[in-house]
Amino acid sequence: MSDAGDLSLILADFAGHLVSSLKLSAQDLQRAGHLAENGGEDLGLVLTRLGLISERDLAEEISRFLTIPLVGLDQISDEPLPDDVLSSRFLLQSHIIPLSVSSDAVSIAMANPFDRGLLDAIRFATGKAPRLSVSTCSDIEAALDRLYGDGKSQISQIADNAGAFHDEGASDDLERLRDSASEAPVVRVTMTLDCISSRYRIV
């Protein structure tokens, strides 16, 4: 099975986890899935925007399902990592916050740890293995504003940054990875909806 197919099964299992934990009804999940598919958006973002689940509840359930730590705003350092590790522009666009870096790994908190495209981009950009935690979009955005805002809006500050690399060729490669990853959510949502429909017999 393809990576997209494998991930769709994982996402379908997570969807089942949300339903079995009484966080969502199967019908609400299907509704959000169709909206995510049509809009090309992340399913988790759609669920929270519709008010079907809170950001905190979603992050807690992801933490339980993937058995990875849940990181709150108070657990994120006040000192930013060097911008040549991962640029602030990349971090805000991807809803990622770096926590620490070692010789062989970079610890990160993500709003969507299911996104393999972003994990591949991080691995490519840093040459290190990503160690995952989950956090809410709001906490990540607040942390990035605290770390990089410097009295300016996030968008203005991030527009000042050159990117994840000083090397133009490497930057182009990362952008191609990001472009490929941006197409993947629609494929994943479509395949996940098929799995959910089959599992819950939703038409």
pTM value?
0.71
Which stretch of 5-14, 77-86, 115-124, 170-179 has the lowest confidence by average pLDDT? 170-179
Contact by Cβ (8 Å): 97, 135: yes
Tens digits of per-residue pLDDT, 46-82? 888 889 889 999 999 999 999 999 999 998 888 777 6
Tens digits of per-residue pLDDT, 83-128? 666 777 888 888 899 898 888 999 999 999 988 888 998 998 889 9
* Domain covering 73-181 in this structure, CATH number: 3.30.300.160
Domain with CATH 3.30.300.160 in the chain: 73-181
Distance CA 185, CA 168 (A): 27
Distance CA 199, CA 38 (A): 21
- Provide the pLDDT for residue 7: 66
